[in-house]
């Protein structure tokens, strides 16, 4: 440490919005070289607080000191000049520009694009976050976009580095490499404010932690001296519930089948899918694991209808739907929750009631070309109440909600449609442990009602908690789906590296639980 003065001091920071108090008299201190965690539920005020530090939001009251001096941070450019860098949970990238061009936009120094590209490549490799500086952002997966945000920030050599859910879509190996880098940076005197819902990460990495609940500081602890259970109690005010997964007792039959799906990559940076076959049964959750950028986006596009394929390649409850677009598949009972909440799952400037209308309009919300906005508001209100969406009411814009609360709304909106098949990508990405547990239980409950669920996630712990069977997508190829009881994390990790033999024929229901003669007869007569 080169100075006894705190790197950052916040004193009585307060920020109010029309429908909620985001921060109320929040105070914290971060010393040079300290890795400081900020913990709390979604909607506790964490994102608002760090936006205030970064100059993206102006506090209503309170003072900020940087290196012992009182400062006013009016905008992010000023924050960067003070040595503050931030990686946001939601990406701020221009899709039509390259990786290097996006990074160049925030540099406060003259740059040469070829030399900058070399720096990007070197730094990204050093941090275990490989990037091609010449790729355009629109061709990147969510995980790759996260890497751009992290590398862009690290290139600015900050005195204070703010990381908002930086590991949400990274592999365990990449997380450990990032931690090594962060520890090295901290040892050189750089302070780090670290926001994560992964308590084991907080315990492994952070020196101190400040806990927020309902916009107020409720405690300051040394994470290593606590347990995950005690940290969870301080965050959410109660013991963390354990997901219940009772066996499915209803009829079991193929609800969604994919046979020999092969599609070429769109553009030079996409991933082609090779001979993918799977069967998804009523009343089960099929989890698909894999490192981001291995064909997940292409598979989701094919299954959701964003990219139509051969008519008989995909069947829904025995009906060919491969040629249908997304809207017509929805009308037949297939719903989809994309991994990117803002812009794909929800329209940021729209209210929650208008966002409900986007996918739930078939629930009696329109007639003769006219919209029944009252029914849309009622639907959104029921979703907010049922899934405990916090941070406003049905008139609140989607972009005003925290990531976790918006995710609860989007998933809840689709669950309330009572679908036959639900496809969910990254269901708890950037969601706090309490909300994640609630979302997982909601998906389990939905499956046990007879709905077939396909869940794509990079969280192995999540897949082992909720899935009945697990398959792995690697380099555009899908491994055979196996019961989770026949797998472990090490085996799945090897498969994520592509170490498996793809099935030669479509998987049958025998991969899971064979349909009995009685079940078959009952289904045929239904």
Six-digit token string for 383: 């979703």
Task: Inform me whether the pLDDT recorded for 512 exceeds 80.
Answer: no
- The continuous run of DSSP H or E covering 227 comes out as none
**pLDDT value of residue 210:** 95
Instruction: Please report which confidence band the pLDDT of residue 518 belongs to, taking 50, 70 and 90 as the band edges.
Output: very low
**Architecture per CATH, 254-333+419-525:** 3-Layer(aba) Sandwich (3.40)
The neighbour count for residue 380, using CB atoms within 10 Å, is 27
Those residues with Cβ within 8 angstroms of residue 181's Cβ, 6 or more apart along the chain or in another chain: 126, 127, 128, 154
The chain-wide mean pLDDT, for the chain, equals: 86
Instruction: Please report which confidence band the pLDDT of residue 442 belongs to, taking 50, 70 and 90 as the band edges.
Output: very high
pTM: 0.69
Instruction: Please report which confidence band the pLDDT of residue 88 belongs to, taking 50, 70 and 90 as the band edges.
Output: confident
Structure-token match 């001296």, residue found: 225
Task: Inform me whether the pLDDT recorded for 516 exceeds 80.
Answer: no
Cα separation, 454 vs 414, in Å, equals 14
**pLDDT value of residue 519:** 41
**pLDDT value of residue 493:** 77
310 Cα distance to chain centroid: 30
Across residues 55-71, what is the average pLDDT?
Answer: 94
Q: pLDDT tens digits, residue range 126-138?
A: 777 788 999 998 8
Angle value at C-alpha 336, between 250 and 306, nearest 5 degrees: 130
Task: Inform me whether the pLDDT recorded for 513 exceeds 60.
Answer: no
Cα separation, 202 vs 228, in Å, equals 9
**pLDDT value of residue 265:** 87
Percent of the chain with pLDDT over 70: 91
Across residues 445-467, what is the average pLDDT?
Answer: 93
Higher pLDDT, 428 or 516: 428
Q: pLDDT tens digits, residue range 326-357?
A: 999 999 999 999 988 887 899 999 999 999 99
- Print burial letters for 246-277: b (CB count within 10 Å at least 16), e (below 16): eebeebbbbbbbbbebebeeeeebbbebebbb
DSSP string, 260-286: EEEE--SSTTS--EEEEEEEEETT-EE
Lowest mean pLDDT among 200-204, 264-268, 405-409: 264-268
Cα separation, 478 vs 454, in Å, equals 14
Q: pLDDT tens digits, residue range 165-209?
A: 887 666 666 677 788 888 988 998 999 999 988 888 899 999 999
Superfamily the domain 8-236 falls into:
P-loop containing nucleotide triphosphate hydrolases (3.40.50.300)
Angle value at C-alpha 175, between 171 and 177, nearest 5 degrees: 120
Q: What are the residue ranges spanned by the domains of the chain?
A: 8-236, 254-333+419-525, 345-414
Task: Inform me whether the pLDDT recorded for 111 exceeds 70.
Answer: yes
Across residues 90-106, what is the average pLDDT?
Answer: 87
> Would the CATH topology of 8-236 be identical to that of 254-333+419-525?
yes
Angle value at C-alpha 248, between 242 and 250, nearest 5 degrees: 150
Helix, strand or coil, per DSSP, at residue 492: helix
Angle, helices 433-448/403-415, rounded to nearest 10 degrees: 10
DSSP string, 49-100: HHHHHHTSS--SEEEEEETTEEE---SHHHHHHTTEEEE-SS----TTSBHH
Cα separation, 380 vs 364, in Å, equals 13
Contacts 24+ apart (CB under 8 A), 242-246: 242/437, 243/437, 243/440, 243/441, 243/444, 243/465, 243/466, 244/441, 244/444, 245/444, 245/448, 245/465, 245/466, 246/448
Six-digit token string for 493: 């990790």
Instruction: Please report which confidence band the pLDDT of residue 479 belongs to, taking 50, 70 and 90 as the band edges.
Output: very high
Angle, helices 142-154/113-126, rounded to nearest 10 degrees: 110
Cα separation, 287 vs 467, in Å, equals 5
Across residues 256-271, what is the average pLDDT?
Answer: 87
Helix, strand or coil, per DSSP, at residue 116: helix
Task: Inform me whether the pLDDT recorded for 252 exceeds 50.
Answer: yes
Cα separation, 79 vs 99, in Å, equals 22
Q: Which of 235, 237, 208 is nearest to 224 (CA)?
A: 208
Q: Are 89 and 47 in contact (CB under 8 A)?
A: yes
DSSP string, 282-328: TT-EEEEE--TTSSHHHHHHHHHTSS---TTTEEETTEE-TTS-HHH
Instruction: Please report which confidence band the pLDDT of residue 392 belongs to, taking 50, 70 and 90 as the band edges.
Output: confident
Instruction: Please report which confidence band the pLDDT of residue 325 belongs to, taking 50, 70 and 90 as the band edges.
Output: very high
Q: Are 401 and 409 in contact (CB under 8 A)?
A: yes
Q: CA torsion angle for 361, 435, 164, 344 (degrees, to 10)?
A: -20
Structure-token match 């309490």, residue found: 434
């Amino acid at each position: 440490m080169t100075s006894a003065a705190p790197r950052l001091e916040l004193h009585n920071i307060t920020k109010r919005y029309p429908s909620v108090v985001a921060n109320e008299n929040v105070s914290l201190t971060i010393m040079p070289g300290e890795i400081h965690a900020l913990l709390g539920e979604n909607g506790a005020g964490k994102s608002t607080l760090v936006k205030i530090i970064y100059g993206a939001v102006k506090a209503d009251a309170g003072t900020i000191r940087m290196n012992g001096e009182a400062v006013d941070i009016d905008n992010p450019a000023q924050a960067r000049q003070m040595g503050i860098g931030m990686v946001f949970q939601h990406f701020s990238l221009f899709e039509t520009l390259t990786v290097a061009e996006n990074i160049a936009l925030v540099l406060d120094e003259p740059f040469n694009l070829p030399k900058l590209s070399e720096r990007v490549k070197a730094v990204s490799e050093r941090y275990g976050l490989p990037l091609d500086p010449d790729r355009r952002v629109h061709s990147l997966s969510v995980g790759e976009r996260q890497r751009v945000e992290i590398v862009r920030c690290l290139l600015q050599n900050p005195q204070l580095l703010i990381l908002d859910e930086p590991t949400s879509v990274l592999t365990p190996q990449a997380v450990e490499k990032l931690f090594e880098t962060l520890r090295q940076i901290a040892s050189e005197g750089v302070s780090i404010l670290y926001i994560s819902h992964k308590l084991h990460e907080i315990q492994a990495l952070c020196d101190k932690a400040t806990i927020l609940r309902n916009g107020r500081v409720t405690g300051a602890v040394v994470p290593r001296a606590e347990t995950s259970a005690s940290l969870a109690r301080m965050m959410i005010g109660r013991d963390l519930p354990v997901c219940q997964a009772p066996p499915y007792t209803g009829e079991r039959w193929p609800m969604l089948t994919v046979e020999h799906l092969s599609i070429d990559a769109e553009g030079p940076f996409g991933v082609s899918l090779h001979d993918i076959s799977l069967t998804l049964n009523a009343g089960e959750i099929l989890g698909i694991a894999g490192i981001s950028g291995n064909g997940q986006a292409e598979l989701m596009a094919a299954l959701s209808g964003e990219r139509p394929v051969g008519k008989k390649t995909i069947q829904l409850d025995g009906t060919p739907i491969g040629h249908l677009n997304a809207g017509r598949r929805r009308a037949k009972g297939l719903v989809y929750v994309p991994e990117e909440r803002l812009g794909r799952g929800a329209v940021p400037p729209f209210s929650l009631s208008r966002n409900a209308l986007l996918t739930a309009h078939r629930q009696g919300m329109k007639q003769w070309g006219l919209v029944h906005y009252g029914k849309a508001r009622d639907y959104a209100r029921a979703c907010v109440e049922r899934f405990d969406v916090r941070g406003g009411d049905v008139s609140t814009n989607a972009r005003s909600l925290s990531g976790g609360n918006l995710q609860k709304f989007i998933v809840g909106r689709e669950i309330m449609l009572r679908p036959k098949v639900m496809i969910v990508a990254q269901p708890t990405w950037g969601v706090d442990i309490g909300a994640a547990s609630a979302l997982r239980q909601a998906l389990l409950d939905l499956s046990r009602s007879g709905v077939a669920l396909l869940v794509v996630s990079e969280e192995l712990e999540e897949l082992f908690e909720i899935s009945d069977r697990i398959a792995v997508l690697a380099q555009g190829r899908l491994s055979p789906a196996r019961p989770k009881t026949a797998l472990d994390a090490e085996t799945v990790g090897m498969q994520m590296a592509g170490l498996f033999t793809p099935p030669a024929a479509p998987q049958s229901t025998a991969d899971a639980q064979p349909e009995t003669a009685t079940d078959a007869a009952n289904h045929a007569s239904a």
